[in-house]
Every structure is written in structure tokens, then in C-alpha cells.
Amino acid sequence: MTTAGDIMHRGAQWIPAHETLDRAAQLMRELNVGALPISDANERLCGILTDRDIVVGCVAVGHDPAKVTAGEMAQGTPRWIDADADVSDVLREMQDHQIRRLPVIENKRLVGMISEADLAHHLTEDQIAVWAESVYAKSATR
């Protein structure tokens, strides 16, 4: 059985909810990632911040990324998966919620992230096609 822990990339880092978006952008650049999980004061997942969120939700509407926090950008119910979950559960979670990145949690701690690139490296072409059709076709109609 292939698990979330098998396909994730390790080394994911939180951005605390109180940090500003300019700091989040700097951290994304340093880590060469396009998304960061947002943590509350107890290091619990409270959202995910993407580079697109910073551009569209802050800069494009005239807000100052040095004054807006990651926590202010957190929307909806954060999704995650346990490191021991089967890859079919990973795909279902991402498809059902139309998400492209999924934090992986083990013993209540962030241990990694699963992105589109991780799926492409570990899944069959048929699995990727079904996933992409589900995630992209639904999001195009929103």
C-alpha cells in the first residue's frame, strides 16, 4: 500500500498566522514553494496560503502585504491527510475539495506536503488523469 507519507515531500514549514504576507512571500522564495500551511498559536493547521492568494487577495486589491497577515487570508476549513492514509484517500480528499496541495500530518505535527508534482512522480498516468479532470474541470466552472 502506498501512503501519503510515501509520496509527500518532507520539510514543509508553517507560516504562523500572525506573520505578514511579505514575510510569507520571502519564505516561499527561500523554500522554492508556492504554498505554505498557516498555523495558529498552538501549531494547529488553520489554513493554507498560496502565492496566488497574496497576489489576487492582497496586492491586486490594493492592500499592503506588509500589513496583512497570513491568518487574515485563511479561508474555509483547512484540509489535511494523515501520513498513514492510503494514496486513494489522498486523491479522494484532493478531488472532493478541489485542492492542489495537501498538508500531511503525523502525530498532530506537520511532516510534509503533497503537491501536483508529487502526484505526477508517484502515480500512474490513469490516476493523474482522473485527478486532474476532477480538480481542474470543477474549478473551471466556479
User: What does DSSP assign to residue 14?
Assistant: -
The structural domain count of the chain equals: 1
Percent of the chain with pLDDT over 90: 58
What's the confidence (pLDDT) of residue 138?
A: 55
pTM of the model: 0.83
Q: What is the pLDDT of residues 6-22, one digit of tens each?
A: 999 998 899 999 999 99
| Residue 11's CATH number | 3.10.580.10
Q: Give the mean model confidence (pLDDT) for residues 104-116.
A: 92
* Structural domain containing residue 71: 4-140
What is the SS3 assignment for 108? Answer: coil
